[in-house]
Amino acid sequence: MHLLDVFAPHDVFGELLGALGDEVRFLEISYTFRHSDKEFLKSIPGAEIVKALRKGLVGWTACLTAPEVTEDEDDREGTEVGMRPLSGEGEALVRRLKEVGSGLVVVDGTMFEVSVSDVEGILDVCRGIKALSLSVALQNGWGEVLNVIGKAGKGTGIESLEIVGVPGMELVERLRGSGELVVEEGELDALGQRCKGLKSLKVSVLRTGMEIWVKGGEGWTKKTT
């Protein structure tokens, strides 16, 4: 089931998701971020989307994508970059995953801002996870979250990892000075040692300046988009 840019009153959306049958094994709910709408995030039924997580799902996607950039100056959405995730639902997401998420193999929860401790909670529950994408609050850099992936044997089976960084104020000030946040070589090598099957890592700050690392026969190769 794919629900792309579908808007409805929150209770109606919740009823729709609650009516899905057990035959649904993969659920995707995705929105394109609208910079022109200051109330955009309020229109997304975050709590209802978290509740849509249930046993039997193999893949669950709840994501916010950045608008496609265009050269049309009259296209407001096409001239703005990046996105912001929903805040305030991270703990509820972890609680729900603890109840029903043990069978998930694919999780994209980039719609919601989570903390590093939330990431640890998700890894503790989703022991069979192969593909993981999350929006994570950061204060210092990528090491905050990368260093917990594969720790104590949690998340070691991940093959595809995406982290959308949500910078705190101190990190924002740093980025204004340097203009970028990079993955340190030692952090990447250590991550690869803990997660032997990891094939790709994507990192971005609010889906801007994406950095992609791909593992090949001779080690890691960096691709920037």
Q: What is the residue extent of each domain of the chain?
A: 2-224
What pLDDT sits at residue 78?
44
Q: What is the DSSP letter of 148?
A: T
How many beta carbons lie within 10 A of that of residue 138, not counting itself? 22
> Parallel, antiparallel, or unpaired: how do β-strands 2-4 and 26-32 relate?
parallel
Residue 31 confidence (pLDDT): 96
User: Is residue 167 within 8 Å of residue 209, measured between CB atoms?
Assistant: no
Superfamily of domain 2-224: Ribonuclease Inhibitor (3.80.10.10)
Taking 50 as the pLDDT cut, the residues of the chain under it are: 77-78
Give φ, ψ of 45 to 5 degrees. Answer: -80, 70
Residue ranges of the alpha helices (H) in the chain?
10-18, 46-51, 76-79, 90-100, 116-125, 143-146, 169-178, 185-194
Model pLDDT, residue 72:
61
